[in-house]
Structure 1
Amino acid sequence: MATTAASRDRALSDEQWERIEPLLPSNEGRKGHPFENNRMIVEGIIYRARTGIPWRDLPRERFGPWQTVWKRHYLYARLGVWDEIHAVLMAQADAGGHIDWTVSVDSTINRAHQHGTNTTRPDQPTGAKANHKNLAHEEPEGHAVGRSRGGLGSKIHAAVDGNGMPLAIVLTGGQRNDGAMLVEVLDDIRVPRQGPGRPRTRPDAVVADKAYSSGKIRRMLAARGIKAVIPQKSDEIASRKTKGSRGGRPPGLDQRTYAGRNVVERQFGLAKQWRAIATRYDKHAISYRAGVVLCAVIAWLRK
C-alpha cells in the first residue's frame, strides 16, 4: 500500500496515522454518536494548533464542524490521550535503544493572548502546574497564567533526551522559577518498558544552564544518582572564593556534555513553529498543554 505523505492540510502520513489510530479512545459505553472521521478530526486539531486560528475559523470543507473538532480536542485533553500516546512512542524508542539518557532541561515563556486571559484568575501563586499526573486533568489554579516581565504568559518546562526528543512537559505560570520546578520536571519523566519491569524515570545526567545552579539542586541530583552538568553562577563562585579553603572545591563541569545543551533550545524552536504554542490562545491550561504534547507526539512519529 502506498504511503500518503503529509501535506499542508494533512500533517500525518498514512504510516504515522496507522501507528496512533489504535491508541485513540472510542466512545464505546459513552453517550452520544459513535466517533466518526477520526483522522479528519485529528488533522483538524493539528491544523488549528499549527496555524493558531480561532476554532470557529477551521475550514469546514476540510475538517467538518468546528464544534466537533473542538469537543474532541478538549475530551482528549481531559483524558490525557496524547500523554498516553507519547508514552507508547517513547517506550518503543527506548526498546530500540533510541533514547539518549543525557537529558537537557529548560523552560520557555509564551505570551498569553487576550483571548486566553479573559477568565477569572484567582489570586496566585500560579506555580500550580498542569501535567499528566493530574489524573482527571483538573484545571490548575489561575489556569497556569502568570505575570512575568513580558506580561501575562505561561511557561513550558521541558526535558529532552540527548537527541532533542521531548520526554517531559510541565506547564506553569510565566513567573515560576526554573530551578524550583526541576524536581517536578524530573518526576514527569516516565518511559514505560515494552516488556516486564518498571518505567524508566532516572536520567544518566541532567544538563542545564546557570538558572538551575544551587547547592540544593546538586544535592538532590546526587541523591538520585544523576550526574549534574550545570555551570555555577558568578555569585556562587565569588562566595566560594571569599570563604577561602572553607568554601570547598568547585563542582566539576563536563564542558563537552554541556556543549550539547542546545538540543532543548532547538526543540523549543521547533515547537514554536506551531503558532498556537508560540502564543497561548487557550483559556484552559489543560487544553493548551494538550497542544504542546500533541506537538511532541508528532516529533516522535517523524523520528
Structure 2
Amino acid sequence: MIRGCWVARPKPWEVDDELWAVIGPLLPKVERRMRHAGRKRHPDRLVFQGILFVLHTGIAWEHLPQELGFGSGMTCWRRLAEWTEADVWPRLHEDLLAKLRNANVLDFSRAAVDGPHPRVKGGSKTGRSPVDRGRTGSKHHLITDATGIPLAATLTGGNRNDVTQLIPLLQAVPPVRGKRGRPRRRPDVVLADRGYDHDKYRRLVRDLGVKPLIARRGTKHGSGLGTQRWVVERAFAHLHWFRRLRIRWEIRDDIHEAFLTLACALICWRRLKSAR
C-alpha cells in the first residue's frame, strides 16, 4: 500500500513474466498447419491461467468465466491433458526444486511424510476408507523437506494403508540439481507417525540409505517427533488451500495428479520468491 494510493493485489491465478519464463519453455510447441489451419490456437499463457483459476477456485470447467479471456473450459481441460501427457508438471516441480537448492533454501537433513485423504466423486485410484466410516475416497501422500517444501506427492485409493506408500514416496523424490556435483535425491532422515510403524518398512527405508524415525504404536505420546513433523501437516494445509484438491472431482486419476503436482510446484515458487 502506497500512501494516498490503492494498489491492487494480483490474483493468485495471474501469471507474471518471471513465472512464465520458467513454465513457457516446458510446454510442447505446436506448429500451426499451413493448409486447413482452422481456428487459431488460444494463447498458452491465457489457457494456463484458466487452469490455475480452476485449481484455486474449484470451479467446474463448464463454469469457467468466458469474460476473463482464458478460453472455454473444454479448451483449458484439453490443454491440461495435453501438457500432462507431456510430463510438464513433474519437470516444472523438479526445476523449481533445483532453484530452491541453488538458493540454499532446500533442507535434506530430514524429511516428513503423511497421508490425509480428500472426498471423491468417482474414478480410478479410489477405495473405501477404513478410517472414514467406509466412505469412498482417494489419499494424497506427501513428503516434504525439513522446512515443509513439497518434494513429492502421490495419489492412491482411500483403502491403501499409509505405510505402503512410504517407499514409493521416497522413490518419487526427483533428483534435485542446483549445485555442483551429483543431484540430491534422498533425505538423511525420514520422520513419520504411528501409521507408518512397521519393522519391514524400516528395513526398506534403511536399504535406501535413509534413517527412519517412526513413532511406535502402543507407546505414550511425547516422542518429540511432532515438533519436527508439523511441517508436513502445514504443507497439506497449503495444498488443500487449492480448492480443487479438497474434493476430487476428476474421474481420470492422471488429471487429479496433474493438479496435485502443479500445486506442489506453485508452493515451491512462492517459497523461492519469499527467499529472495
* Superposed displacement of residue 74, structure 1: 1.2
Q: Give the Cα–Cα distance (whole angstroms) in 1 for the partners of residues 17 and 244 of structure 2.
A: 25
More off after superposition, 40-49 vs 23-32: 23-32
Determine what percentage of the aligned residue pairs are the same residue: 34
TM-score, normalization by structure 2: 0.84
3-state DSSP of counterpart to 2:116: strand
* 1:227-251 Cα shifts (integer Å, max 9, x gaps): 22211111xx69xxxxxxxxxxxxx
Which runs of no fewer than 5 residues in structure 2 stay unpaired? Answer: 1-6, 272-276
Structure 1 equivalent of residue 30 of structure 2: 27
- How many residues are aligned here? 257
Equivalent of residue 64 in structure 1, options 71, 75, 91: 71
* 1:159-186 Cα shifts (integer Å, max 9, x gaps): 0111111111111101100101111111
Equivalent of residue 56 in structure 2, options 8, 29, 50: 50
Are 2:261 and 1:293 aligned? yes
Q: Which amino acid in 1 is paired with 2:84?
A: A
Which runs of no fewer than 5 residues in structure 1 stay unpaired? Answer: 120-142, 239-253
Matches within 5 A, 1:46-195: 46-62=52-68, 63-101=70-108, 102-113=110-121, 117=122, 143-149=124-130, 150=132, 151-194=135-178
- Conserved in 1, the CA contact under 8 Å of 2:101 and 2:179? no
* 1:34-74 Cα shifts (integer Å, max 9, x gaps): 75422211110011111111100000111122221111011
Are 2:258 and 1:279 aligned? no
More off after superposition, 14-23 vs 170-179: 14-23
Equivalent of residue 20 in structure 2, options 9, 17, 20: 17
- Conserved in 1, the CA contact under 8 Å of 2:42 and 2:71? no
Structure 1 equivalent of residue 11 of structure 2: 8
Change (3 A) 1:176 1:297: same
Q: Which amino acid in 1 is paired with 2:65?
A: P
* Superposed displacement of residue 190, structure 1: 1.3
3-state DSSP of counterpart to 1:144: coil
TM-score, normalization by structure 1: 0.77
Q: Which amino acid in 2 is paired with 1:280?
A: R
